[in-house]
Chain A
Amino acid sequence: MKTSMKVSLASLAVALALAGCGSTGDKEGGAPVESRDSNAGVARVEAGGVQSGKLPAVLTDPNSILSKRSIYFALDRYDVSEQYRALVNAHAKFLVENRQFKILIQGNTDERGSREYNLSLGQKRADAVKRMMVLLGVREDQIESVSLGEEKPRAEGHNEEAWAENRRADILYAGEY
């Protein structure tokens, strides 16, 4: 037997400022009550963002290998597999020849497991791509590797196909992030 009860308290819930709820004391041991106004109000903040810039065509032309930016990983793995070596090599070559360019490598994971652990796993993936590029002559200060963990899935599904798409590191050039 299930029962349900609804209490609508709309008028109370919209109250934004939590003012004091003070005590008048109690003869028989009532707990003293302090004001709540030091931490009860909640101010609203809008977070900012970053502007995009213009990039040379060679980085964005669909016929250029440099327009390919994603490296995919197996479950729980963070080693760059053979099929992505040419892609990483091409970006490394571009960065060696164009020292003024900088990149951000974003590591991603699928949605399963701890968000913070996945953030670290995504970092391992980004770092693996970075390490390859540094070995190929790219300067450390041209690359920043970060993780988005499971937070920014390219595929929104909850199946093997979506998970595989999201186990990924992406290369972004300065101006794209």
Chain B
Amino acid sequence: MPLQNMNLSNSRRFVLAGIAAFLLGGAGLVQAQLSIQITGAGANQIPVAIADFGGDVGTSRALTSVVRADLERSGLFRLVDASGAALTEASPVDYMAWKARGADALAAGSLGPSPDGRLEARFRLYDVNRQNNLGGAAYLTTVPQLRAAGHRIADYIYEKLTGERGIFSTRIAYVVKSGGRYELQIADSDGQNAQTALVSREPIISPAWSPDGSRIAYVSFENKKPIVFVHSLATGKRHVVANFKGSNSAPAWSPDGQRLAVVLTKDGSSQIYLISASGGAAQRLTSSAGIDTEPQFSPDGAWVYFTSDRGGSPQIYRVSTSGGAPERVTFEGNYNVTPRPSPDGKSLAFIARREGRFQLAIMDLASRQVQILSDSHKDESPSFAPNSRMILLATEIGGRGVLSAVSADGRIKQRLSVAAGDVREPAWGPFFQ
């Protein structure tokens, strides 16, 4: 597996490699490998011990590995060595011994048969310093579902210890270009379990998750022009939402999942319209002689952020969802595009061109202060995790598209790459529902 050296001092490299082998129609067996490297970490990592889960060694170790890998990958935790501890959720806890090992928190659990013949993963979380039980849970699972159960456990621990919701059970969408084929793939947030939702000989861009995570809107060029589709992941059923004369692109879901903002050229140059998620007539939202594109709803649904060249260079604006005069949001530089409001409504990620380099930037919406978060040169398509902590984006390393993720404070960086081809157009899905 190719690994790029990040050349960062004090960087830790952690590679979680899985092989998702799947059959490509007519193309034989193709292997897609997605690896995640972590470079840089949070300043104040919480030392946490995850004891080996009790139960059948093979499956319980696999479960323990998922929990540990999730927590470590987040950059917010430091794993404390838990070797030699034979603990389950039912064991008494020797708090002094775990304090001596340096742990602030401890999780212990087991994986065993459930009465209905499935597996049950049980665990409990302890605050080592306060010497109290922070709670626990039991999840029914199966061997093929072991990873999902591990993500749920990691989400529980993450939320208890950080106070914010975990994103280990979420999924990501992205497009892989390989040998003239385009595949819309869906993977778990750790890059595992990649599944192909759509295969095409023509480009697929701008995937956008419905708020409930069941559907993805995207732009497909399969009919030699850009058309907006909505695609139900579980059934594969899809329908055309916008196929007007000219180009149809840049779908963005309203927070209630009822409407899409899209970009149409049916009345001239690229303008923003609102349309029902089931299709139908489009209602024009912006009006300029130039380019208006890349709409994104604010999480409260009150605003649509977008890119426009109405002022002479592409800049980010926002307009009330009910219409009216747009307000300019970015002023620094002459190329600021791809606005992405954070789910918590506090910040705006976007791509800024500075001295010819296209870099991820983040604006604090209260102070309007802008910080550049990346040191690369071809960043595209930022996408917030649903807890607003991480931003997934496409970038380029050695002429090949890769995904990377950076925390909103810029401290934590991860890289995801698929060995088989170019990967681009990432979109982080909503919280597990």
Contact = CB atoms under 8 A, between A and B. Distances in A.
Interface residues of B, number: 98
Secondary structure at the A interface, as helix, strand, loop or mixed, is loop
A114 B351 contact: yes
A99 interface: no
A162 B381 CA distance: 23
A43 B226 CA distance: 22
A38 B232 CA distance: 10
B220 A47 contact: yes
B221 A123 contact: no
A18 B193 CA distance: 10
A16 B152 contact: no
A54 interface: no
B333 to A, nearest CB: 13
A7 B18 contact: yes
B195 A42 contact: yes
B101 interface: no
Interface size range of chain A in the complex: 35 or more
A92 interface: no
Interface string A1-36: 011111111101111111111111110111101101
Contacts of B338: 114, 116-117
B140 interface: yes
Nearest to A157: B399
A170 B414 CA distance: 40
Given A5-B15, A13-B194, A21-B149, A28 B225 contact: no
A145 B124 CA distance: 61
Contacts of B199: 44-47
A4 B149 CA distance: 25
Contact of A28 (B16, B135, B265): B135
B141 interface: yes
A34 B433 contact: yes
B138 A127 contact: no
Contacts of A48: 222
A44 to B, nearest CB: 5
Contact of B236 (A3, A19, A34, A43): A43
A9 B263 contact: no
A151 B391 CA distance: 24
A146 interface: yes
A175 B246 CA distance: 18
A40 B234 contact: yes
A9 B353 contact: no
Given A9-B192, A38-B214, A119-B247, A23 B139 contact: yes
Nearest to B156: A31
Contacts of A133: none
A144 B156 CA distance: 53
Contact of A31 (B20, B137, B234, B378): B137
A6 B16 CA distance: 6
Contacts of A30: 135-138, 156
Contacts of B220: 47
Contacts, number: 256
A39 B430 CA distance: 12
A138 to B, nearest CB: 15
Contacts of B144: 12, 15, 17, 19
Interface string A52-91: 0000000000000000000000000000000000000000
A123 B222 CA distance: 17
A41 B21 CA distance: 16
B222 A47 contact: yes
B373 interface: no
Contacts of B213: 39
A103 interface: no
A146 B225 CA distance: 6
B139 A21 contact: yes
Nearest to A156: B399
B212 A44 contact: no
Interface in B218-268: 219-226, 231, 233-236, 238, 245-247, 249-250, 263, 265, 268
Contact of A144 (B18, B245, B263, B351): B245
Given A12-B193, A15-B144, A44-B199, 4 more contacts: A12-B192, A39-B212, A116-B294, A117-B314
11 contacts: A9-B18, A12-B18, A14-B21, A15-B193, A24-B114, A39-B213, A42-B234, A43-B235, A44-B198, A117-B293, A120-B249
Interface of B: 3, 11-22, 25, 62, 65, 69, 114, 120, 124, 133, 135-142, 144-149, 152, 156, 186, 192-203, 205-206, 212-214, 219-226, 231, 233-236, 238, 245-247, 249-250, 263, 265, 268-270, 291-294, 307, 314, 335, 337-338, 351, 353, 358, 378, 380-381, 399, 425, 432-433
Interface of A: 2-10, 12-26, 28-31, 33-34, 36-50, 104, 106, 112-117, 119-121, 123-124, 127, 144-149, 151-152, 158, 172, 177
